[in-house]
Structure 1
Amino acid sequence: MARWWSMRLWGAHLLGLVCVSAAVGMGVWQYDAWQARRAAERADLTHAEPVAMTDLIGPDDPFPTAGLGRPVEVRGSFLPEGTVLVSGRTGAKGADGSWLVTPITVGDASAPAVPVVRGWVPAGTDLTALPAPPTGEVDLVGWLQPTEAGSGTDADRDDDVLPELRIADLVQRVDQDLYGAYVVAEEPLAADAAAGVDGATLDQLPEAGRFTGLRNILYAIEWWVFAAFAAFLWLRYVRDATSERDLEEADAGPAGEPVVPSDP
């Protein structure tokens, strides 16, 4: 074992330690980034002061990271079309249910619209039994969320029940352009509350998808593979160098002179 840490191999040991440590460290950094991205999927900034939604995102802008879960103020008019139910939302006491969603214009009647989660209803509720959205201009406060990108498939594309709240699915149902986000209303509208619609909460958001931050976790695994490969090369080099030295010493004999093979 002492030969493994001889002076002539210090350079190899130093290079091996640097390479392995750097690769392991980079892997840990990417792993932490993966965890952070998954945690951000459920970020809840309910204690922040509400701001105008247009201050965070424009009609054609990608979803801003700083806006995830941020309370926003929306002023506009609900569209007469485009109301849907989004299934798979667990309510109080674990009851299965759906979100009631209607797009609202952000500004005048011709402005782009943003889908608003008006509230939660028990599973099996018929959309026709729920109140229509109010007419005229309304003001509401809710939490800004990015479009969902789950792997659920819509079993019946002709009905008004969706498996996830995806902007791409809603844009086909309205004439207005839609923002690349949606808003979860903090409180149900008066007419909705009177009809038994409960308030939706961020706790009803789906768990982070399996592929959230996939690139980061793959990079972490890649760096750890590099670390293992570097460790293998390091140990292989040291082993070969040590074996070569042992052979040289064996050939030199005990007094440092070459060993002369004896006659048979």
Structure 2
Amino acid sequence: MVRWWSMRLWVAHLLGLLCVGIAIGMGGWQYDAWQARRAAERVDLTHAAPVPIGDVIGPDDPFPTAGLGRPVEVRGTFLPEGTVLVSGRADAAGADGDWLVTPLTVGDPAAPAVPVVRGWVPTGTDLTALPAPPADEVELRGWLQPPEGSGQVDDDRSDDVLPELRIAELVQRVDQDLYGAYVVAEEPLADDAAAGVAGATLDQLPQASRFTGLRNILYAVEWWVFAAFAAFLWFRYVRDATSGGDAEEADAAAAEGAVVPSDP
């Protein structure tokens, strides 16, 4: 009788294990390549050519999905009365700190404004010790981000430190309407940099296209299907080999127990 662990089936076991292992590994490699390509596209979108903010979003528009992380150009005047710190922001090295945020009118001084993250400062920095934004019209570049609003509670509403960059909080501090978005400046202003304000890092990255790396993920699925097929073939072969042995033994036993008639 041929058993599953019989020496006669070791070659089949090893071959099946080898085929399944290679197929699963190749599928995992293609899956990793799919993720890497999508991650690379997300980063590359942040380095696209900047466009005027008005080409991506208007003052009354909802935040567009295609605008997440898009480099934009903004020209206008800062509204210093709206300056706040947004807590809970880490720098590139992981140190805790705050964002320095001031609304900037888009175009005319009386036009709606967009909050601008001017940079990053360590936790505990006094807002009054930081330089005021320029009074003249400025032009800057930055990355467009959606407003925040996870529902974090502001434990102290009397100060100028917010737990999140919420448009509803900022609009109460200025006379202009605000865009439903904010901009992370590419680099601090000259006065801010001289005062030790560092560049802020992106809080979110743009989404990759759904078709990015499509060939890789299809290859991954194809390899995994092959792995399942190889496992099925191994199972069928081993099952047939073992069941065939049982049938032969049954036939032999039946033959031994048969009565042979004598010649007349």
> Displacement, 1:186?
0.3
Aligned residue in 1 for 2:132: 132
Query: Partners of 2:195 and 2:132 in 1: how far apart?
Result: 11
- Structure 1 residue 206: deviation in Å? 7.1
Q: Which residue of 2 aligns with 1:90?
A: 90
| CA distance in 2: counterparts of 1:75 and 1:95, whole angstroms | 31
Query: After TM superposition, where is structure 1 displaced by more than 6 Å over at least 4 residues in a row?
Result: none
| Pair 1:50 & 2:41 matched | no
CA distance in 1, matches of 2:86, 2:124: 12
Distance 1:164 1:93 in 2: 21
In structure 2, C-alpha distance between the alignment counterparts of 1:119 and 1:80, rounded to whole Å: 15
Hey, what does 1:72 align to over in structure 2? 72
* 3-state SS in 2 of match to 1:148: coil
Partner of 2:247: none
By how many angstroms is 1:91 displaced?
1.4
| Equivalences for residues 167-186 of structure 1 within 5 A | 167-186=167-186
Moved more, 157-166 or 92-101: 92-101
Q: Is the 8 A contact 2:99 2:117 kept in 1?
A: yes
Q: Report if the CA contact (8 A) 2:145-2:204 is conserved.
A: no
How many matched pairs? Answer: 166
Structure 2 match to 1:252: none
| Native 8 Å contact 2:46 2:69 kept in 1 | yes
Deviation at 1:199, TM superposition (A): 0.3
Is 1:109 paired with 2:121? no
Counterparts of 1:206 and 1:70, CA distance in 2: 11
On the 8 A contact 2:69/2:204 being kept in 1, the answer is no
Task: Could you tell me which runs of 5 or more consecutive residues in structure 2 were left unpaired when the two chains were aligned.
Answer: 1-37, 206-264
Query: What letter is aligned with 2:127?
Result: L
Shift of residue 61 of structure 1? Answer: 0.5
- 2:239 aligned residue: none
Q: What's the RMSD between the two structures over aligned residues?
A: 1.9
Letter in 2 for 1:93: A
Match of 2:19 in 1: none
What one-letter code is carried by the residue in structure 2 that aligns with 1:90? Answer: A
Identity %: 79
CA distance, structure 1, for counterparts of residue 128 and residue 149 of structure 2: 27
Highest relative contact order (Cα 8 Å, sep 6+), 1 or 2? Answer: 2
Amino acid of the residue matched to residue 108 of structure 2? D
**In 2: Cα distance, 1:72 partner to 1:182 partner:** 11
Please give the per-residue CA displacement for 1:240-262, whole angstroms capped at 9, x wherever unaligned.
xxxxxxxxxxxxxxxxxxxxxxx
Relative to the length of structure 1, the TM-score reads 0.60
Instruction: Please tell me the residue identity of whatever aligns with 1:134.
Output: P
Q: 1:114 to 1:194 in 2, by over 3 A?
A: same
Provide the C-alpha distance between the structure 1 equivalents of 2:173 and 2:103, rounded to a whole number of angstroms: 10
Deviation at 1:195, TM superposition (A): 0.2
Secondary structure in 2 matching 1:178: coil
Partner in structure 2 of residue 23 of structure 1:
none
